[in-house]
Structure 1
Amino acid sequence: MEKVRASAGQQVWESQSMWSQAADAAKRTIARARMAGLLLGIAAAGLSTAGVQAMTWNAAVGRSLVFLGAASAGLAPLAAARSGPTSLQNWTRLRSVSEALKSELYMYLACVGVYRTADAARALLDRADRIVMDAADLTYLTTAFIPVARPIPAVSDVDSYATVRLAGQIHDYYRPRADLMRRRTILMRRIEFTLAAAAATLGAAGAAFGAERASAWVPTLTTMVAAVTAHAAASRYAYQEIEFSRTAAELDSLLARYKTECESEAEADDAFVGNCEDVISAQNEGWMAKWSAA
């Protein structure tokens, strides 16, 4: 019986690895496309202005810069297209499958709910099959990956679930991710401030000293500020920071109550694990929806 349980768990764990890798690859593609679109948009604005100004002292250099600016402007939407609705939808569905498989596996290993019975292994495989079948049209995106060699989570009951799954999510994922999003938000704001300050300074210089070359950069820098602001809004750094922090706090609260009010009854254990997985699932679905809608 134990061998059957271990085999079923390993099978789902390997399947989850493939879906997770596919989701990670899809997200990287989207993030790179958005970053490429941002950099190309900034380059287009800067090179075009620099090219026009360079024409007065070196026509060849000026034309080259204008050409590069025009090329950047033309390539920007092509790069951004890789983060379009279809790509976003595929990524969110891949991640949803991965997280659903992981959730089922942890409940199975903790032996809660439907996984208390002698048919737990069959129930796990049946549920895993249904999860995968709901996204069968995306299976081709997972075929390029092989399961990562990793031990199955060391969970055998609710206590080990609380230690491995819950504490691990709080300390090794949600809090570090919240800190990363905070740093990215700060970086975007600093870039916006620097560009806006440069535009204000050049505008003042142009007005005070009649420096037309300086004034010409004001709309260019304003365009760059808008591009950075749009990128930050699309990436939802601030929203993700809040969501990761909030989820860590909710899980911390559930863990604290479990440790102080832990009961041996099966229903209490089922409710605890179910509530934890609901919080994790809600956070995953929420930030993916926001990230996709941006």
Structure 2
Amino acid sequence: MTSRGKQPLIHARGLVKRFGGFTAVDGIDVDVPPGEAFGFLGPNGAGKSSTMRMIGCVSPPTDGTLRILGMDPHRDGPAIRARLGVCPQLDNLDQELTVRENLVTYARYFRIPRRVARQRADELLDFVQLTERANSKVEPLSGGMKRRLTIARALVNEPDMVLLDEPTTGLDPQARHLVWERLFRLKQQGVTLVLTTHYMDEAEQLCDRLVVMDGGRIVAEGSPRELIARYSTREVVELRFAADNQEDFAGKLADLAQRIEVLPDRILLYASDGDTALGEVHARGLVPASVLIRRSTLEDVFLHLTGRTLID
């Protein structure tokens, strides 16, 4: 899991992916240095998975420049894939094999000697907290356990870089946090992680740096903290009024915040001090049915940049 030299592990310029007349990735520039946890944040259909498939050398770019680990995916695809760990969006484990057998068998694809493969499988099962299920079949495992096993499998060849496409989609909150904890451990060990997600809290937890994608393009880039500071305010006041139409109240609130967003079920006031803004709301005789004052998140950044929420 060591990086080689100082060159970016991913270098893309003007990267394009088209499917017939549809452009899924529309001319993006990306550099990922060794040891970084890098994220592609955006809703379904933003172009994240298409980008990851090009990086993983399983889908050729339509146009642009792409170098992975300093190599050309078109010419050096097999050599690149041998040095990548891949955790796909949908688990594709062998249901008929045991947990340990899934790892040992996968290791053999990389021509790892059987003795080494067994030792590495046991170490990885310990890492993902599945040692007690080593001899269990895969089929009855919970979704979170299967996800952790898929991550362990992605590490069996001691890759230079691990690609994780929507690593916690479909998991319950407890399972998501267990996966996050394992990925954070990898990050602490200096493993280069590249992940796609539409969960803003996942991106904030795991990513040193990320790009926000929308419609196949990169609309912002930076660390989570930088993006929030650049595109949002310190606090957000969420107001829900009993009336069906929140727009009726928006005009009375517009001058109380640096920015206002009207969603179907609530109004968001972006302000440096949420308590002060709420005080002004009450001073105008407006009585929301519910109020929440919270810190800004990447969800607010995305809403500002695209005019819609990540889950649209």
TM-score, structure 1 as length reference: 0.22
Higher fraction of helix: 1
Higher fraction of strand: 2
- Over alpha carbons, which structure has the higher Rg? 1
Question: Which protein, 1 or 2, shows the higher relative CO under an 8 Å CA cutoff with sep ≥ 6?
Answer: 1
TM-score, structure 2 as length reference: 0.21
